[in-house]
Amino acid sequence: MSEQVLAAIDGSQFSEGVCDYAAWASLAMDAPLTFIHVVDNHSELPEEQNLSGNLRFGARERLMKELSELDEQRAKINRDQGKLMLEAAHARAVEDGISNSTTRQVNGTLVESLVELEKDVRLLVMGKHGENAHKSSGHFGSNLERVVREMHRPILMVPQTFKRPEKILIAFDGSKTARKGVEMLARSPLFTGTECHVLIVGAETAERRSELEWALNTLRDGGHQAEGAIRAGEVDEALQAYEKEHSIDLLVMGAYGHSRIRHLLVGSTTTAMLRGSRIPVLILR
């Protein structure tokens, strides 16, 4: 199977954005588009001790049977809802110019299902949080950080409304992984014709000036208009300030590095930053 754009959808208000950004990426990269909906039927049953001690003989068995029947009904409803979501996603992709998208519905947890499929994934597109973002178990909001940690493919976290990226900002720390990311972006068809900005967060030194110049030259060699800066301060605050000043449409970050950017991405602020961003965030591995 050729590497595909995989778009994970649920019933949240982010699903339309997921569809549109996934269609844009599929067309730009000339890659197949697949929509996936994960049915997570996990539900916690009452604890054993709460049933056996307080129910008469036979009542516990009846209750467990009723709970099992409810679970089956819930699972069927979830599957049926998922099929409708996938049909709607396919129809929206047609409107976006893609007639041959495919759909998949799988049972399991979101993170495990995505990890199982990642060998065939070129880019994963998902909303910043899902329909049950404030609840536990299996949904985008609660599993956002786990997806970032465990997936080894580029991940595009998107907002509700699509805007074609014309200006992108790359958070750069000079690490080997970050350099690979810049080289990949310079030649990626996803960003053909985009204006590229590079930001290094930290004190301005000769080494950082050299790193910035390397990144800008690499992007220019790839045919991009490129500019950048070195700024002191906290990583998230510096990125957000630069983003607003230059009307950036998409933020690019590496998931690993040796600097404060790495700590930002693998630390406790990951989910808050990704959710809080008003623009898409592309996380490179």
Q: Are residues 103 and 241 in the same domain?
A: no
pLDDT score recorded for residue 139 = 46
Q: Are residues 17 and 150 in the same domain?
A: yes
Q: Are residues 149 and 94 in the same domain?
A: yes
Reported as a single tens digit per residue, the pLDDT across 66-81 is 777 787 777 788 788 8
- Domains in the chain, number: 2
pLDDT score recorded for residue 80 = 84
**What are the contacts of 72-79 at 24+ separation with CB within 8 A?**
74/41, 74/43, 75/39, 75/41, 78/39, 78/40, 78/41, 79/39, 79/105
Q: Are residues 179 and 201 in the same domain?
A: yes
Q: Are residues 153 and 174 in the same domain?
A: no
Spatial CB neighbours of 132, under 8 Å, sequence gap ≥ 6? 139, 141, 142
pLDDT score recorded for residue 155 = 92
Q: Are residues 143 and 29 in the same domain?
A: yes
The answer to whether position 70 is within a domain reads no
Three-class SS state of 279? coil
- For residue 198, the number of C-alpha atoms closer than 13 Å in the C-beta half-sphere is 29
Q: Which of 268, 202, 191 is nearest to 239 (CA)?
A: 202
Backbone angles phi, psi at 259, to 5 degrees: -110, -165
Spatial CB neighbours of 176, under 8 Å, sequence gap ≥ 6? none
Query: CA 160 to CA 21: how far, in whole Å?
Result: 10
The answer to whether position 57 is within a domain reads no
With beta carbons less than 8 A apart as the criterion, state whether 160 and 279 touch. no
Going by the DSSP 8-state scheme, the letter that residue 46 receives in this structure is P
Stretches where the chain sits below pLDDT 70 are 1-2, 41-57, 129-143, 255-276
Q: Are residues 115 and 32 in the same domain?
A: yes
Question: Quick one: tokens of 54?
Answer: 């307080």
Q: Which of 129, 158, 187 is the last residue of a domain?
A: 158
- Going 240 to 246 to 250 to 254, the CA torsion angle's sign is negative
The answer to whether position 275 is within a domain reads yes
The answer to whether position 9 is within a domain reads yes
Q: Which of 115, 133, 158 is the last residue of a domain?
A: 158
Query: CA 37 to CA 130: how far, in whole Å?
Result: 12
With beta carbons less than 8 A apart as the criterion, state whether 147 and 111 touch. yes
With beta carbons less than 8 A apart as the criterion, state whether 17 and 45 touch. no
Q: Are residues 88 and 14 in the same domain?
A: yes
Q: Are residues 118 and 18 in the same domain?
A: yes
Query: CA 74 to CA 206: how far, in whole Å?
Result: 61
Q: Which of 130, 158, 186 is the last residue of a domain?
A: 158
Q: Distance of CA 230 to CAs 75, 205, 227, Å? A: 52, 9, 11
Query: CA 198 to CA 231: how far, in whole Å?
Result: 11
pLDDT score recorded for residue 48 = 44
Q: Are residues 152 and 171 in the same domain?
A: no
Q: Are residues 221 and 260 in the same domain?
A: yes
- Find the domain containing 258 and state its range: 167-280
The answer to whether position 242 is within a domain reads yes
pLDDT score recorded for residue 141 = 53
Reported as a single tens digit per residue, the pLDDT across 137-172 is 344 455 677 787 788 899 999 998 999 999 999 999
| Residue written as token pair 């808050």 | 272
The answer to whether position 16 is within a domain reads yes
With beta carbons less than 8 A apart as the criterion, state whether 185 and 219 touch. yes
Query: CA 191 to CA 89: how far, in whole Å?
Result: 24
The answer to whether position 55 is within a domain reads no
CATH of the domain at 213: 3.40.50.620
Query: CA 271 to CA 148: how far, in whole Å?
Result: 9
